[in-house]
Amino acid sequence: MNQLNSLKRFTTIVADTSNIESICKYKPEDATTNPSLILQAVNHSFNECFINQAVEYAKKKGGLYRDQIVNASDKILVDLGVEILKYIPGYISSEVDARLSFSKEQSILKAKKIINLYEEQGISRKRVLIKLAATWECIKAAEELKKDNILCNLTLLFSFAQARACAESDVFLISPFVGRIYDWYISQKLISNSSNERDPGVKSVYKIYDYYKKHNYKTIIMGASFRNIQQILNLSGCDRLTISPVLLKELESNDEIVDRKLIPPSIFSTPPSELSEEEFRWDHNQDVMAVQKLSEGIRNFAKDQLALEKILSKKI
């Protein structure tokens, strides 16, 4: 049995791609996309039909030039998601514009718009996860959206404060960014050629997993943003892992034994009192890595969103 199939015994595998060919090959349960992956897909000539469909849709809806660009962008996000759902049994994660990350109200409105676009094409909201950056505002937006049966994937998660606030708000799923945490520690020369046990990204997920399971939180933990298969294998047993095609291929080509690393505790305890907004902001602010990587991630996703809109604006 190869490592990919072996890993599937302990963990739900999610494809971190919008590439249909890869999804068909590796047969994941779910798939995740983000503005960077959507932009990659749009830049592929094979997907030009999605651009044309989105532009036609936006022109038909009319409105101001800026409104048409936004509508085309939302449409292509959903159309790619609908296509991916044909090849997976589970969820597709579709991301809200990162520029809305500090507005609870605007994030809610955009999430509902995306869900409506899916439902117009016959896709149940039960198969869609709305991706939001794990800011305080978006965590609270996810809490509100769940009341309307809209489930969320809180992404760009780097600090324990973010993880704790998500669990306390009963968010459906979180995506701790293992590789980006590792990158930061390397860039700051706080680790060098990290051994597997000392990998700070892996350790962050261990801490979240133990805390969630000990306090019986239902929020799903999905490790993300991996740099090598050893990080993935060290998180065998995590609820979900979203993995790029490059690393899925490496796992499939390797037949070494995979052992389960994360195991729920047998003893449970009562959760502490919930974090206030002030406590959340202070605790998160104490983690320099998390502050830098969250803001950087939001900026970069916004940059890719702008690049997508530039492509669409030329067509409109």
Q: Which of 131, 213, 218, 314 is catalytic?
A: 131
Supply the pTM of this predicted model.
0.96
Q: What is the pLDDT of residue 283?
A: 98
Q: Is the dihedral of CA 216, 218, 219, 223 positive or negative?
A: positive
Strand, coil or helix: 224 = strand
Residues 95/74, Cβ–Cβ less than 8 Å: no
Enter the CATH code of domain 3-315. Answer: 3.20.20.70
What tokens appear for 192 in the block?
């060098």
Residue spans of the domains in the chain: they are 3-315
Q: Given this model, what pLDDT does residue 196 score?
A: 52
Q: What would the two tokens of residue 222 be? A: 């999905």
Q: CA–CA separation, 171 vs 188, rounded Å? A: 32
Helix (H, G, I), strand (E, B) or coil at 44: coil
pLDDT per residue rounded down to tens, the chain (316 residues)? 999 999 999 999 999 999 999 999 999 999 999 989 898 888 877 678 889 999 999 999 999 999 999 999 999 999 999 999 999 999 999 999 999 999 999 999 999 999 999 999 999 999 999 999 999 999 999 999 999 999 999 999 999 999 999 999 999 999 999 999 999 999 999 998 655 557 999 999 999 999 999 999 999 999 999 999 999 999 999 999 999 999 999 999 999 999 999 999 989 999 999 999 999 999 999 999 999 999 999 999 999 999 999 999 998 9
| 243 half-sphere exposure, CB direction, 13 A CA radius | 32
In angstroms, the CA 231 to CA 201 distance is 8
* CA–CA dist 128, 131 (Å, integer): 9
Instruction: Verify whether residue 131 is a known catalytic residue.
Output: yes
What confidence score (pLDDT) does residue 40 get?
87
**pLDDT the model gives residue 197:** 57
Q: Are strands 151-157 and 173-176 parallel, antiparallel or unpaired?
A: parallel
